[in-house]
Structure 1
């Protein structure tokens, strides 16, 4: 295991109430930076999803993957409600990660 191993589920967006992407990672600060810099090919790069608007840390990768699947299986309205329950302004939480 690498020193920054911390399973997490996250949501990135292109703007408030815009396009959202749900993902899972073992190193959220690194992954969020990759999204911000446009280094992740595919959906997030195509739609400009660079803003980290929600995340949840987990004890194990299995738990994180299960939660990611649960969120991805939900409706867009449920994803928006999840984001807005913790982050109603859709602030970019990237800057909060290393505090």
Structure 2
């Protein structure tokens, strides 16, 4: 579906909180492309970051391999570094 993710939690769930389309699923790529982290409040950025800050570091070896493969597949749609950069500034 072309979703972007802010990161992964300790359960291996990739976190998405971008706006959802008003009518049609084909609106998702445009919504995600235009999404900016600064549209979120400082509190929301910190809430998201606190849930994701481990970013897979606590995964076992098998989970780390799966996560690394997912990162390759997602490429620039995995936006944890953007999230972390903003959280550090807050």
Say whether the fold is shared (TM-score over 0.5). Answer: no
State TM-score, norm by structure 2: 0.30
Choose between structure 1 and 2 for higher RCO, CA contacts under 8 A separated by at least 6 residues.
2
Structure exhibiting the larger radius of gyration computed from Cα positions: 2
State TM-score, norm by structure 1: 0.28
